[in-house]
A and B are shown apart, each in its own frame.
Chain A
Amino acid sequence: MDATTNTPVPTRRNFFKETLAAALGMVVAVIPGLAGLAVFLDPLRRQGAAGGRLIRVAAIGAIPADGTPAKFAVVADKTDAWNKFTETPVGAVYLRRVGADKIVALNVVCPHAGCFVSLQKSGKDFLCPCHDSRFELDGRVTSPSSPSPRGLDSLEVEIRKDEIWVHFQNFQPGKREKVPVG
């Protein structure tokens, strides 16, 4: 370490030079950083496929008359960065008949952590396979000890000429209130 042992520690500091050197160093380092930050933050301005669109899901005849919920894929156009897919599954719903021409829809996404719930073999309630949240057929949480903060998210249904249309929307998991995902 011959060259560094006799390091002259400056006696008089030159604040102008020091500030300028530091400032210039900062400027040149910040340029690539900002360019990278912009691209890094780009996902914040993107919209999801399920933005509260009215989507035809099934024919009314396909829903069991006895009030057993039936699961249907929600098919819509989807943009995945540079690819645009037409008619591709973007989610799923349980449809249940509660009257002659009255249908209710539940989003299959568990409001706890986003897993897909499934109808139990008994046909009496829904179970989330991840953390065992249980829901009644109408979507209410079965027991207060269930991890899910709210019941299954119900979706608005319209019936047009025997076709079931659903206002499809995902909601943020982990919250007591239904907050749409943008």
Chain B
Amino acid sequence: MKSLLNWLDHRTGFRKLAREVLYENIPGGARWRYVWGSTLTFTLFVQFVTGVVLWMAYAPSAQTAWESVFYIQHEMWGGWFLRGLHHYTAQAMTVLLVLHLMQVVIDGAYKAPREVNYWFGVILLFLVLGLSLTGYLLPWDQKGFWATNVATSIAAITPVVGPGVQKLIVGGPDYGHHTLTRFFALHAGVLPALIIALLAGHIYLFRRHGITPKEPRRKPDAAFWPDQVLMDAVACLAVMATILFLVIRNHGADLGAPADPSEPYSAARPEWYFLFLFQFLKYFPADTEIVGAMIIPGILTGVVMIMPFIGRWKLGHRFNLGVLFGMIAGASLLTYLALAGDAKNPEYQEAVKLATREAARVKKLAGSLSGIPATGAVSLLRSDPLTRGPKLFARHCASCHRHGGGDGMGNPVTDPISAPDLGGFASREWIGGMLDPERISSLHYLGGTKFKAGKMVRFVKRDIANYDEGQKESLRKVILALSAEANLPGQRAVEKLDATLIMEGRNLLKSEAMRCTECHSFGKPNEDATAPDLTGYGSRQWLIELISDPSHVRFYGSRNDRMPSFGQDKILDRQSLELLADWLRNDYYQP
């Protein structure tokens, strides 16, 4: 063993290298304030390890990026944990970079002869921020997509070259496959390579000039090993413990709904450490964004870069400290303003709530037996009645109708209700209420319409109100039969059990005794019908046709009360009509 090591040492000189690494002199002995550089190297190591494995499972394209991240997060062994580590270590890195910079400036470690090393450090800071910016887009979820969209749009305001630069970053005029391939190449290739090169230079220069001792020296000089290594290891452990706490508490990193260029996400915010820049831009009116986005940050970066020269004078060092703390205080204030602004912005809260709901929904759909189609997870949401239905309802229906008292999205409506509440439409409960003398003329049913004193209301209030027990029994069967016409997925099980009652109800519906067919058609066309057709009442086809054209003779004809012909007049396309009908019938995937 010994001779083998001797042979290796002769060929490589590893013993000298190890000695130099381990027994570097620390003037004044080991101190806690020297740990920041090591914690940063450690976090970088974590990012390389976790990043390479994530790379093995990530597929950068508009139809596979979110999907592969979903697969990592929810299907692969420990995937959520790995992704969580990568995500929170990135955040820890940003914090540690600021701490490292503060320690360097406070201790005057940027002064001669260490200027070049200081510049390496500042460039490394920007490269790591570049990793954050590019990494934020890679999951291709709504928040990453729309927040990065803002960042690349800002690049476009650069004078002269802006539009070209933006096209080069985005990989074309619009976000798509090449945006991801380019961001990924930057994130996993170009930036890490630059970081390794600069870090090697940074550590080389650090070793060349040695540590900047903090005066007064409290102890005699000592070697790096083991005292400083132990302190560094304890600091790394503390960093790792913090990261683990965040990963486990939040169950890994968040994954929003897949990016949808047709659904702007108004709560898109950059990662928290870029919030100050985001907030800063609010104070620059049109045509002056460039001042906030480039000129001021550029000047401040310039000041940071020339700090080693300013710091030659005693007063200059104090100036540097003032600038650094001023920048940190300013950034903190702006971050606070951004967070406080969002906290009391109801529209932002609304958008976040909706985004959370859609993210949860798409994960359920993606986890269903049919999986994710090749067109990507975004098509799952686009064709999901539970996602699209409420939005369509809120936009097109809720100014007159309600759904469970609200606009379908769970929000109250200010317009007065002037058409039936369609929550549970065509269910036994709903039809029962329609045929209830107490309820038919309430706002929930016909109270808001011009039919509130019509034939139907009169029939229910005069005839049904005076039914004897036998007639009431018949009415119950009619309700079951009419509700069965809708073939609602939620009632299929009970309808199987009630098959005979439904059969009897159907015959009663047709009978003269129940008087339904005096105005309605049922089972066969009735030329004298003046009220909506009850054949297939509430079924998918019936609903689509009703919404499409309520003024058709089959439904309300010329008696139609204000309801637009959504399909006939091309207000809604075929798919939207279907989504609306399916949602009203609660006909969608439920795990």
Contact = CB atoms under 8 A, between A and B. Distances in A.
A1 B16 CA distance: 14
Contact of B233 (A3, A24, A45, A83): A24
Interface in B58-85: 64, 67-68, 70-72, 75-79, 81-82, 85
A28 B77 contact: no
Nearest to B244: A31
Given A7-B25, A17-B227, A24-B230, A38 B82 contact: yes
A40 B76 CA distance: 9
Interface string A87-125: 000000000000000000000000000000000000000
B463 interface: no
Interface string B201-229: 00000011111000000000111011101
B227 A32 contact: no
Interface stretch (A8-16, A53-61, A134-142, A145-153): A8-16
Tell me if B's interface is mostly helix, strand, loop or mixed: helix
A21 B38 CA distance: 13
B475 to A, nearest CB: 46
Contacts of A40: 53, 56
A84 B57 CA distance: 17
Contacts of B81: 35, 38
Given A3-B25, A24-B236, A82-B75, A32 B230 contact: no
A18 B225 CA distance: 8
A58 B494 CA distance: 42
Contacts of A38: 76-78, 81-82
A39 B72 contact: yes
Contacts of B366: 82
Interface residues of B, number: 57
A35 B85 contact: yes
B61 to A, nearest CB: 13
Nearest to A15: B226
A2 B207 CA distance: 10
A9 B25 CA distance: 9
Interface string A54-71: 000000000000000000
Contact of B230 (A20, A28, A85): A20
Contacts of B221: 6, 8
Contacts of B23: 7-10
A117 to B, nearest CB: 30
Interface of A: 1-4, 6-10, 14, 17-18, 20-21, 24-25, 27-29, 31-33, 35-36, 38-42, 45, 79, 81-85
19 contacts: A2-B210, A6-B221, A7-B24, A7-B25, A7-B223, A10-B222, A21-B225, A21-B233, A28-B42, A28-B236, A28-B240, A31-B85, A31-B244, A35-B82, A38-B82, A81-B68, A82-B372, A83-B373, A84-B370
